[in-house]
Chains A and B, each alone.
Chain A
Amino acid sequence: MKHGVDGHVAALPPSTAVAERGWLRWTLWLALAAAWLWPGLTRPSMLGAAVDWSYFTAHDISAFRSLVEHGQLPAWDPYACGGIPMIGNLQTRPVGLTALLTWLFGLWPGLRLSLLAMVVLGMEGGYRYARHRGVAGVGALLAGAAFATSGRLAQAIAEGQPGLMAFELAPWALLCLERGWRDWRAASVGGLWMALSFLEGGAVPTPLTAVLLLIVTLLRTGVALWRRGHDDVAPWRPFAALGWMATVAAGVTAFRLLPVAESLWLWPRQWQAQDVYTIGHVLNMMVIAEPPGSHTANGASYFGTPLLMVALAALLLRDKRAVWPALLLCLSLDLATGTRDLLGVFPAIRGLPVLENLRHPMRFGLYTALFCATCAGVAVDALERGLHHRLQRRLADAPPLLASLLAATAALALALWPLSDGAIFTGRRVAGVFGRPAPLLVDQPFRQSLGNRWAADTWPALNLGTLSCFEEQPFPQAIGLRGDRKAEEFVDPPEAGTATRLAWSPQGIDVEVALAADVTDATLVVNQNYHRAWNAGALPTLARADGLLAVRLPPGRSHVALRFSDPAVHVGLAISACFLLGVPLLHHRRQRRRAVESGGDAREAP
């Protein structure tokens, strides 16, 4: 194995001693991420002007109202389209890190701090992945920082798609998968990272990262088969690790996965367009420093020519640590084109069940950034090790620290070149995003309004539903919805009695109904879409002919307590609890058994 520039298996680069200090590294990440997001952090109530900012913020406000203001699990969203599933809608992130931060710090600060947290996690994940690939010191730091501030993530912020920041978790999942080839515990932790990605990112980062993990698994299985008998990873193990990761991720997120699966089954996401790009176009997105006009324009996936050149240097040095990330870099480039003209991986992936709706393949360029950053880290690491080795010989009489300092300084200088180029360009993009004042929050009784989907975040902020709406899934809307009703809950026929709202929350409505003495057939109608999960205790709920939610009323006076209570969520919660408790227990028992068998060390042999 050749690590150094001169073929010498060098010791770790001198800067490793600094980079490995967790407290120092996390301080660096926090400082870098804060600088990258700076204007947004100082003005948390300023949003972007892009339409998706409004759309996704609307869902965040709805989730906040349900979770924080009413203390309810946001399973139903009464603010969008006359009422649609929230936890079953892949476009939302009602439970996860973001929800937790908004609960702790309030809506706008929480949303902004979640961006910060994701960038910091991306930096540490990129660092740890590079570290796992044998890169250390400044090289590994470069890998983490360059990946987490790369253009596709800046593009997500510019476009107002905060869920795409879950891409920052991809290196963690990849790292755990690769470690999972030898250690089941790593595969379990990887499942947790994928679970968090699903809760935060939903529709896009989760399947794309899953595709990446699948390809890595296929490659590693091929290697294990090729080196059968000489490989410490059995050929079955990569797929077993991936399967276990998927099981843990699915189990932990069952409370969301089940309603999502149901909603996708009933109302599948539709995407007819199949966007494809030439390799030149994809590379232009990555290396041309132009302010991109769209998500496919030059510069939209920017990480820069300097990073690419430093990464190429690792290959020119014939450093074997660069082989694996370089191979994955090439595959991610092919995926990003979406064409059949090269390897044709993306069209093949789209042929798989569930993945037929994958779109925007250029997003795979984010993984290109990760692997390019890792390769660049290899080059920086190799320079530092090699230089240190030579300086140690040449400066044999000088204090050893001098050679270390000189080598680390040279590595830092090399690392700063691509990092400053990439992070400054993308940071400027991010800095220009936050120019639109957030909608004003108002406390008033909830009611449906005509609304306007282009200003989607206005309505839940005003505590109003918007009938004008857009969703990626064709959620059905009742034709009976109106945005001008005097009361959102009313008796039908109107002359049969009166209905008085006693309490309202996103997941529950209490209404006092008084029917006239001779009325035996009347319903309480709610100005929201029907959903099977609405129930009113012993009173039967039904969908009216116009699609509105209704409750058949008993004669006389009655108290109707409507609750959104989805059995899919309840079953999912039970499964999630079992996994969250059971998986650690499983590992603990396994560890104890191994400890007994081996007489001490419980760790699996690498």
Chain B
Amino acid sequence: MFEPASAEPEGVVSASAAVVDGPALVVNGRRPIALLPWLVPLGLAAVLAAMVLSAPEPPTLRTSGATRFGLSAAARSEAFWQIASHEPMWRLRAAAHFPDHPWSAEDDYHWNVLAHVHNEVAPALGVHTSAVWAVYDEGVRGAWRVAPPAGSPHRAGGVTAPLRPTVVPLRPRTQ
């Protein structure tokens, strides 16, 4: 009832047997020339692989020099300020959303950072988001206390505190 005995045509590879035997190279006494048709799928696979490999590669980020990460020092400073100046507001909002769960509040805060980087900072600077994140790390590591550049409409915001470079663990490790 459940095991239909399907007769398989002679002279062809048994699909079911091949599961056990693996890809049979010579089946039913075939000569090796019978393997020539396999060049078709192999060729197609090679073409597909070549197509994937020949696709344009992402640009690389310069990590040194005056235009580090593709941004001048002033642009990097502005980018960092664009993020850091929003921190107090985002932290307050996150704490209000998750008053009893510090990890979730931190996570909510980071979501705001991401949205700002992706939707505001990177498009405004015309750079890849990776460049902005690299600047973000540079500023945090350097504990940048930056004021917005002279002439910036954000100048009234004053000097911002650096972002907190510590962790709020979901499960703190002690010993």
Contacts and interface: CB of A to CB of B under 8 A. Distances in A.
Interface of A: 1, 3, 11-12, 16-17, 20-24, 26-27, 30-31, 34, 41-45, 82, 105-106, 108-109, 112-113, 116, 127-128, 131-134, 136, 172, 175-176, 179, 183, 185-186, 189, 220, 223, 232-233, 267, 320-321, 323-324, 437-444, 447, 449-455, 458-459, 461-462, 464, 467-468, 470-471, 474-479, 481-484, 529-530, 543, 545-547
B52 A105 contact: yes
Contacts of B136: 450, 452
Interface stretch (B7-15, B71-79, B147-155): B7-15
Contacts of A439: 129-130
B111 A454 contact: yes
A449 B173 contact: no
A479 B167 CA distance: 6
A547 B4 contact: no
A440 B57 contact: no
A440 B59 CA distance: 7
Given A12-B9, A323-B1, A484 B55 contact: no
B102 to A, nearest CB: 12
A481 B167 contact: yes
A34 B5 CA distance: 34
Nearest to B127: A440
Nearest to B106: A468
Contacts of B13: 20, 22
A189 B172 CA distance: 43
A324 B2 CA distance: 6
Contact of B19 (A3, A16, A134, A175): A175
Contacts of A27: 40-41, 44
Contacts of A3: 4
Contact of B173 (A1, A43, A127, A478): A478
15 contacts: A16-B9, A17-B9, A20-B12, A43-B55, A108-B57, A134-B4, A179-B16, A186-B19, A440-B61, A442-B130, A444-B63, A449-B141, A450-B137, A452-B110, A483-B167
Interface string B132-173: 011011001111000000000000000000011111011111
A439 B136 CA distance: 15
Given A179-B19, A449-B137, A17 B48 contact: no
A447 B138 CA distance: 11
A113 B16 CA distance: 27
Interface string B1-43: 1111111110011011011101100000000000001101100
A41 B48 contact: yes
Contacts of A134: 4-6
B114 interface: yes
B139 to A, nearest CB: 10
Given A186-B19, A223-B2, A450 B55 contact: no
A462 B133 contact: yes
Contact of B15 (A44, A128, A484, A546): A128
A23 B40 contact: yes
Given A44-B55, A455-B117, A484 B173 contact: no
Given A41-B48, A109-B55, A444-B63, 7 more contacts: A12-B7, A21-B12, A179-B16, A452-B113, A468-B107, A482-B166, A484-B143
B170 A477 contact: yes
Which A-B residue pairs are the 8 nearest by beta carbons?
A134-B4, A476-B173, A547-B173, A477-B169, A484-B165, A483-B165, A440-B130, A26-B41
Contacts of A26: 38, 41
Contact of B6 (A131, A447, A476): A131
B3 to A, nearest CB: 8
B133 to A, nearest CB: 5
Contact of A131 (B16, B53, B134): B16
Contact of A41 (B52, B111, B130): B52
Contacts of B131: 440
A181 to B, nearest CB: 9
B89 interface: no
B128 interface: yes
A321 B45 CA distance: 34
B4 A438 contact: no
Contacts of A128: 15-16, 18-19
B49 interface: yes
A123 B24 CA distance: 19
B59 to A, nearest CB: 7
Given A45-B58, A468-B110, A477-B171, A462 B137 contact: yes
Contacts of A481: 166-167
Given A45-B58, A128-B15, A12 B6 contact: yes
A232 B3 CA distance: 10
Nearest to A232: B3
A483 B15 CA distance: 56
Contact of B175 (A41, A233, A459, A545): A545
Contacts of A17: 9, 12
A320 B4 contact: yes
